[in-house]
Structure 1
Amino acid sequence: MANTPLLLTTLFLLSALYLTTANPTNFIKSSCSTTQYPTLCVESLSAYATTIQQDPHQLVQTALSLTLNRTQSTKAFVSRCKNFRGLKPKEYAALHDCSEEISDSVDRLSRSLKELKMCTIKGEDFTWHISNVETWVSSALTDESTCSDGFAGNAMNGKIKTSIRARMVNIAQVTSNALSLVNQYAANH
């Protein structure tokens, strides 16, 4: 009986250690720590901690779904902006080009989510499918950057430029984070 306090203390410490490491939020924080925008990554994915748990596949799927949703929302915003009155010809042209780039980005992110579903088996098939996911997410990031570039220069200064660029920066950051998580997932398999 003299060892009971030591045994209880050991059990308590082990259970505390387990609870700390088994916490889905800690898994998200740890996974996001290697992304380019870790704070945004944790903030955006923590709401889905109960779904993600400690499943790397679910983490990537959630990050891609979140990225796709934000990109679709931005696509709708850009489409509405094209209807504003008083747009300069350069603004309208940039909005038109941006709309096409975002549509491509939405398509690539949708494809990446479908392809991710094929990444359930290790081996050559996994490598092939995850490589496709990496390529499409990287291409989506390029599309988003191209859209922002269309609003460069002082001739484009104004509310449209400010609004579009703010949204594009946000989706570029979540896309970058998603790509980083996809790369981690690929490296660990």
Structure 2
Amino acid sequence: MPKQNHASLLLLFISFVAFSTATANAGVGTSKTAVNFIQASCKATTYPAQCVRSLSVYANAIQTSPQRLAETALTLSLNRALSTKTFVSRLTRFKGIKPRQYQAIKDCVEEIGDTVDRLTKSVQEFKLCNRARGGNSFWYHMSNVQTWTSAALTDETTCSDGFAGRVMDGRIKSSVRAQIVNMGRETSNALALINHFASKKH
């Protein structure tokens, strides 16, 4: 994906966060009803604690909308993938890095790049879902969202596999694994909330 597209996505995300944060902070405080909705919805995910922690910030923007909840989770997942790609890319600058570690990092960056591309497509397709008027049109775009988000999870697993074996043990491996785990959990939770939103449309 061209660099300018990444920059545009980041700008859109920053705007989204600014709006959501402002909404969350408006009035006397965060809506208890919205927080309860997020907590209940996150029970359907594999990592409910992380789900609640990530999304509660945007409670007042989400309210009790499964659509806004899923879209927010997906956008946060994309942002996590972008920041993870930046973090892992910087590891190649470590002094004393071994050739095999360098190659594993390089391969991982490519895999995360695929994750970013697929999550970007998911975000775009989700917006088309929301605009779709006919049933068939909605399900066409929703199917694409589910496919792309699921594929992103596969990329993340492949990235971790590149650091398998004791020879790769050390601070770099630990750092990469930690980032990949968090990214995978965000994506997994987003997919669960997307599927939950889709189930409400049946």
Pairwise same-fold verdict (TM > 0.5)? yes
Q: 1:57 aligns with which of 45, 53, 67?
A: 67
> Residues 45 and 63 of structure 1 are in contact (CA less than 8 Å); yes or no, is this contact kept in structure 2?
yes
Partner of 1:184: 196
Q: Are residue 93 (structure 1) and residue 70 (structure 2) matched? A: no
Identity %: 54
Deviations 1:19-51 (A, max 9, x none): xx9801111111110100011101110000011
Change (3 A) 1:57 1:77: same
> Residues 57 and 185 of structure 1 are in contact (CA less than 8 Å); yes or no, is this contact kept in structure 2?
yes
1:130 and 1:92 map into 2 onto residues whose CA distance is 38
Q: Are residue 111 (structure 1) and residue 121 (structure 2) matched? A: yes
Partner of 2:45: 35
Unaligned runs of 5+ in 1: 1-20
Partner of 2:136: 124
Please provide the CA RMSD for this pair.
1.3
> Residues 22 and 54 of structure 1 are in contact (CA less than 8 Å); yes or no, is this contact kept in structure 2?
no
Partner of 1:154: 166
Unaligned runs of 5+ in 2: 1-30
Question: Aligned with 2:97: secondary structure?
Answer: coil
1:92 and 1:58 map into 2 onto residues whose CA distance is 40
Change (3 A) 1:31 1:168: same
1:57 and 1:49 map into 2 onto residues whose CA distance is 13
Question: Aligned with 2:96: secondary structure?
Answer: coil
Partner of 1:44: 54
2:155 and 2:169 map into 1 onto residues whose CA distance is 21
Runs of 4+ in 1 over 3 A off after TM superposition: none
- TM-score, length-normalised on structure 2? 0.81
**How many pairs were matched up?**
169
Partner of 2:87: 77
1:170 and 1:91 map into 2 onto residues whose CA distance is 21
Give, as a single letter, the amino acid of the residue that structure 2 aligns with 1:147.
C
- TM-score, length-normalised on structure 1? 0.87
Question: Aligned with 2:118: secondary structure?
Answer: helix
Question: Aligned with 1:151: secondary structure?
Answer: coil
Structure label with greater radius of gyration: 1
